Amino acid sequence: MRSIGLLATLTGILMLASSCGGDGGGTIPPENRAPEASFDLPPSCTTHAACNFSSTSTDDDAVTDWNWDFDGDGSFDKNTANATHTYTSAGDFDVSLMVRDAQGLSDTETRRITIAPGNAPPTAAFTSTCTAADCSFISTSSDAAPGTITAHEWTFGDGGEADVVSPSHTYAVTVPTDFTVTLTVTDNEGATDTETQTISVIPVNTPPTAGFTVTCTAGNCSFISTSTDAAPGTIIAYAWTFGDGGRADVAKPLHNYVVTAPTDFTVTLTVTDNEGAIDTETQTVTVSPPPPSAEGCVTSGTRVDCALNITARSTVRLKLVAINCDLNKQRVVTAPSIGDQVFLNVCERTAGEELGIFGGPLDELIVFEAGSQVPIRFHQGEIDRNHPVLGPPAGRLEGTFPTWTLSFEDGADPGAPGEPDFIDVVVEVRAVPAE
């Protein structure tokens, strides 16, 4: 049996012979050595501050991998040659660095570090409340003793900023809009923290502003809405009440008041916008009847206007006494602003018919005040193509308050014997005392 020493000697001779043989021979490569792990501890470290660690490891070739465990829990935290770590609690911790070279050989160095208590950064937080575009913010940020928050920096997402604890801010918006609000707090040690939230700002609709102007000629009044509404609101509805029972729902209404003496009316305009907001404007409008003219009848073109003086408060009735006409569309009415259509197509009516004068939105008997006038208008009418050319109409007034007779000449037979005869349409006008 061969001894172990002899076997080793023979084996070494054989290995040497093998390595020296071949074509021209060669050199034996140097044996790879494992790296040597080492690192520098920072001179002092406190909680909540970054601690810097630097590898000073060496290798006969090069270190290719670094694995740090900063708190001794067996888990690697960083994998770079130089690394930082922030401790959240004070005490002693085992710091390990394992390094590896390209051939996979490794080495580990462990050292103990003492972490002293340091400043804990503040915690930023806030609440917000918005009423329409007006928003209030309250910082609920905190800082562990002995730290205290010394600065608040707000950005409101629209370019606005503030540096107080609980600011207010108004957003210039006309439609619902989201904004990113950021609060950064800094404590007495210079530590900071930031909180960011998204808030939705929904503007409250601004109600419209109602307004109008009015122009009256006798009882005929023209109203123009001057109402406004702030964008994006728009006025979509108009509601007028004219104080006499009349109503309208357009922006520029016309309204006819029936008055026999100067009268005040309370006019109200209510406007509504596209958000349902409303506003109301009320004005007092004074309406006067046309200025009185001389009692009697005056021809103007194809009509005759008669004015009858009222000396006591009365209602008025008209009666067809005689009809001797054949023209189309002859009629007896009251002139504006009363405008009652008393007898239409008078040539086709029957003598003896009697009607009162009505008016106003409720079509009630009109009460004529003392000192006012009843305006009676006769329209001449129209001829057919075979009829002679018409002459001018005319009217004649007889009587006095409370009973008058109006006799109208329609001008249908100009130049005929007996013309004008003033018997074409005869109307009796009677004033009835009003209660």
pLDDT, position 76: 96
Residues 301 and 425 in one domain: yes
Residues 399 and 326 in one domain: yes
Residue 1 lies in a domain: no
Residues 260 and 300 in one domain: no
pLDDT, position 29: 62
Strand order in the sheet with 63-69: 45-46, 106-116, 91-101, 63-69
pLDDT, position 205: 82
Domain closes at, from 67, 95, 116 = 116
Q: In whole angstroms, give the CA distance from residue 398 to residue 295.
A: 10
Residue 167 lies in a domain: yes
Q: Nearest-CA neighbor of 222 among 240, 210, 209? A: 240
Q: Nearest-CA neighbor of 148 among 126, 123, 167, 179? A: 123
Residues 137 and 234 in one domain: no
Residue 349 lies in a domain: yes
Residue 3 lies in a domain: no
Which letter does DSSP use for residue 173 in this model?
Answer: -
Residue 253 lies in a domain: yes
Residues 261 and 316 in one domain: no
Residue 349: CB atoms within 10 Å: 16
CB distance 296 to 399 below 8 Å:
no
pLDDT, position 17: 35
Amino acid identity at 73: D
CB distance 310 to 431 below 8 Å:
yes
Residue whose token pair is 């210039």 = 172
DSSP 17-82: HHHH-SSS--PPPPPP---B--EEPPS-EETTSEEEEEE--B-SS-EEEEEEESSSSS---B-SSE
* pLDDT tens by residue, the chain, 435 residues: 333 333 333 333 333 333 444 444 456 667 899 999 999 999 889 888 899 999 999 999 999 999 999 999 999 999 999 999 999 888 999 999 999 999 999 999 999 999 988 878 899 999 999 988 899 999 999 998 878 999 999 999 999 999 999 999 999 887 889 999 999 999 998 889 999 999 999 887 889 999 999 999 999 999 999 999 987 789 999 999 999 999 999 999 999 999 999 999 999 999 999 989 999 999 999 999 989 999 999 999 999 999 999 999 999 999 999 999 989 999 999 998 899 999 999 999 999 999 999 998 889 999 999 999 999 999 999 987 777 789 999 999 999 999 999 999 999 988 888 899 999 999 999 999 998
Residues 220 and 108 in one domain: no
Three-point CA angle 48, 51, 54, nearest 5°: 165
CATH number at residue 242: 2.60.40.10
Domain closes at, from 238, 253, 287 = 287
Domain closes at, from 287, 304, 332 = 287
Residues 133 and 233 in one domain: no
Q: In whole angstroms, give the CA distance from residue 305 to residue 302.
A: 10
pLDDT, position 46: 87
- The helix (run of H) or strand (run of E) holding residue 139 is strand 134-139
> CA dist 105 to 28, 31, 39, 423, Å?
20, 12, 18, 140
Residues 302 and 283 in one domain: no
Beta strands in 232-330 (DSSP E): 235-241, 247-248, 254-256, 263-273, 278-287, 296-300, 303-309, 314-323
Buried-state track 301-334, b at ≥16 Cβ within 10 A, e below 16: eebbbbbbbbeebbbbbbbbbebebbbeebbbbb
pLDDT, position 36: 96
Residues 376 and 406 in one domain: yes
- Indicate yes or no: pTM above 0.85: no
Residue 10 lies in a domain: no
Residue 25 lies in a domain: no
Residues 138 and 187 in one domain: yes
Q: In whole angstroms, give the CA distance from residue 321 to residue 403.
A: 13
Please give the tally of structural domains in the chain.
4
Residue 74 is part of which domain span? Answer: 39-116
Residue 38: CB atoms within 10 Å: 15
pLDDT, position 27: 60
Residue 150 lies in a domain: yes
Residues 373 and 418 in one domain: yes
Residues 90 and 140 in one domain: no
